[in-house]
Amino acid sequence: MFHLEIETRLRAAVSAVAPSADLATVQVRPAAEARFGDFQSNSLMAVAKALRLNPRQLATDVLARLDIADLCEPVEIAGPGFLNFRLLPGALARLLEQALGGSHLFFRPAASPRSVVIDFSSPNVAKPMHVGHIRSTGIGDALQRIWRLLGHRVVSDNHIGDWGTQFGKLLVGWKTLLDRDALGRDPIAEMERLYKEVNARCDADPATLDRARRELVQLQSGDAENLGIWKEMIRLSQVQFDTLYGRLGARFDVTLGESFYNAELPGVVESLVAAGVARESEGAVAVFSDHTLPPKEDPLLVSKDGEWVDIPALIRKSDGGFNYMTTDLATIAYRLRTWSPDEILYVVDDRQSGHFRGLFHVFSRWRPDDFRKAQLRHIGFGKILGEDGKPFKTRSGDTVKLADLLDEAEERAQKVVAEKRPDLTPDEQKEIARIVGFGAV
């Protein structure tokens, strides 16, 4: 902050004395040693050399033109032409007062604020948040803080997975296998157990699979009992999410899950068909390549045995159900008409990069005008790996739960704190362990 201000003023003085000097070479840096003051500039020697001037004389002339008395003590020339700057305590105090008043110490708000929707974290309900979610949550939250700091308008949206075929199986599990005590103790673990159990049965038993399908259809057609159970599953999941977001310090402006867009999905499909973008194919509705892009750049084509073949984007299944793609198309349309963003950022791991390439492409064909108004960007990232370079798993091969990871980090920090600072109260030790453990993660 100060050094840029000093640099700007120094450049003005140099250009007054030596109009042909290359001002880009005139720089101010934090002082290498405190005894030289707070900031220094070694640039005048090079300027003098380039212009064949005496460096000390140039420094003297520049100082005579340098208007800096409100920021610094009288500036010293050292050696052949070094300048040393010492801040006035009053200048520092004024800056800190501004900071107390809410303005940032190092950043100036963007000259033309942009408006951005950031889609991040977005876990699926009825499942534990796992170690991978820390990345989407951490990167997304960092982005929203930075954009806000720079004065942009941000809407952070947690697009939770609260709809989909998994609820058929979950409903069968809830109705036939639910252990109420276990649900009371650890609802997510119990829901996960139900899902795994029914999923395994479905593989072996077509009747269970059939029942899961029927439960799902009933949920989708608004059956009161199934809707009630579904809502309860979401509520229990949200409690888990909120606890973890509290620990991570992440906040969302809105949490509009996939189910929020249900009512719009039939209209999205109709509109895509009417626009000639989608068509029926084997009972389903899909978007195929229109062959306007070079095949290599076309997300709806893939190279197989030296030939380009279709990988259409499905937007309605043959059983009438809708796809992840359909929901995401409805979501873009909603975000554009609700917040008119300049950009929408999707902070989601790289395994979904194909999905987002397809999504942005299909949207560009469906709503070309809207597509030009907003920039759609996938902010991807890789997996968290263990020490062996493979995806980070527990000893038994399961994904690592985010809550367990944070707990373990705090426990390990706790041991160190207890050893090093036995003089602190247990509460003080615990608080330090929380901060150090989480900081380490």
> Which residues of this protein are in contact with ligand ARG, per CB under 6 A?
119, 122-124, 159, 161, 328, 331, 346, 348
Distances (CA, A) of 161 to 79, 139, 170, 171, 191: 67, 19, 14, 16, 15
Contacts for 396 with CB less than 8 Å, ≥ 6 apart: none
How far is the C-alpha of 163 from the C-alpha of 157, rounded, in Å? 16
| Residue nearer to ligand ARG on the CB measure, 73 or 192 | 192
CB of 383 to ligand ARG, least distance (A): 13
Contacts for 369 with CB less than 8 Å, ≥ 6 apart: none
| Residue nearer to ligand ARG on the CB measure, 122 or 208 | 122
| Residue nearer to ligand ARG on the CB measure, 137 or 208 | 137
Our CA dihedral for 201, 180, 403, 348, rounded to 10 degrees, sits at: 50
| Residue nearer to ligand ARG on the CB measure, 81 or 123 | 123
CB of 180 to ligand ARG, least distance (A): 28
Q: How many CA atoms lie within 13 A of 16 on its CB side?
A: 15
How far is the C-alpha of 284 from the C-alpha of 287, rounded, in Å? 10
Assign residue 210 a region (left: φ > 0; alpha: ψ between -120 and 50; beta: otherwise).
alpha
Coil, strand or helix at 323: coil
| Contact between residue 154 and residue 268 where contact means Cβ atoms under 8 Å apart | no
| Residue nearer to ligand ARG on the CB measure, 68 or 191 | 191
CB of 344 to ligand ARG, least distance (A): 9
CB of 363 to ligand ARG, least distance (A): 12
* Strand-strand pairing, 301-304 and 153-157: unpaired
| Residue nearer to ligand ARG on the CB measure, 162 or 298 | 162
List the beta bridge partners of residue 302. 309
Q: Sheet holding 76-78: strands in order across?
A: 29-30, 39-41, 82-85, 76-78
CB of 358 to ligand ARG, least distance (A): 12
How far is the C-alpha of 381 from the C-alpha of 51, rounded, in Å? 50
| Residue nearer to ligand ARG on the CB measure, 251 or 421 | 251
| Residue nearer to ligand ARG on the CB measure, 308 or 324 | 324
